[in-house]
Amino acid sequence: MALIKSCRGNTPVFGTNCFLAENATVVGDVMMGNDCSVWFNAVVRGDVNSIRIGNQVNIQDGAVLHCTYEKTTLVLGDSVSIGHNALVHGCTIESQVLVGMGAIVMDHCYIESNCIIAAGAVLLEGTRVESWSIYAGVPAKKVKTLSPEVFAGEVQRISKNYVLYASWFQEPLK
């Protein structure tokens, strides 16, 4: 069973049909919507400030979500995919966004809906990502406009697939 821990009088709250891997950690002031998943070795640490997570969000293996004490909160919209080993810290990410593997999103970043943050990208503090953009590099910059085909084939596909993957682990053992 995942480590679910209260901190400073706050206990994580989960919507329906959420999957938490056995070694996932969710701490403190965290509110998660429906059909979400927190995968192996992922950490969602709402100890120093609040974390709000929409519906159909997947936080993949090794990812870390955190905030800065008394300065930043973390907000994720619906159908957000946080890739393996990504670090997402004190920012706002609207709906239908893919944060690639190993990406870093720093405090006060604001990512509008329908975007991709490429694998390994580093969004410096305060970066604003406009809708339908792909950002890549260190520091991350807009590299192209996101086409509807790539959006459907990547952002939407991955979000839907992770709801399916989570269902594989929620079936009773036989």
The tens digit of pLDDT for each residue in 128-163 reads: 999 999 999 999 999 999 999 999 999 999 999 999
Q: Output phi, psi for 88, to 5 deg.
A: -120, 120
- Residue 113 clears pLDDT 50, i.e. is over it: yes
- Residue 9 three-state SS: coil
- Mean pLDDT in residue range 7-18: 97
* Residues 6 or more apart in contact with residue 113 via CB below 8 angstroms: 77, 94, 95, 96, 97, 131
- Mean pLDDT in residue range 103-112: 98
Confidence of residue 63 (pLDDT cuts 50, 70, 90): very high
Q: Output phi, psi for 169, to 5 deg.
A: -90, -10
- Residue 104 three-state SS: strand
Name the amino acid, one letter, at 172.
P
Q: What is the DSSP letter of 146?
A: P
List pLDDT tens digits, range 75-88.
999 999 999 999 99
Percentages of the chain per state (helix, strand, coil), in multiples of 5: 15, 40, 50
Closest to 45 measured CA to CA, from 29, 22, 61, 21: 29
* Residues 6 or more apart in contact with residue 9 via CB below 8 angstroms: none
Name the average pLDDT for the chain.
Answer: 96
- Mean pLDDT in residue range 88-113: 98
Q: What pTM value is reported for the model?
A: 0.96
Of residues 42 and 170, the one with the higher pLDDT is 42
pLDDT at 49: 98
CA distances from 24 to 64, 65, 95, 109 (A): 10, 12, 23, 25
CATH class of 3-169: mainly beta
pLDDT at 170: 82
Closest to 111 measured CA to CA, from 92, 98, 125, 124: 92
- Please state, in angstroms and rounded to a whole number, the distance separating the CA atoms of residues 144 and 164: 30
- Report whether the peptide linkage leading into residue 139 is cis, meaning its omega lies within 30 degrees of zero: yes
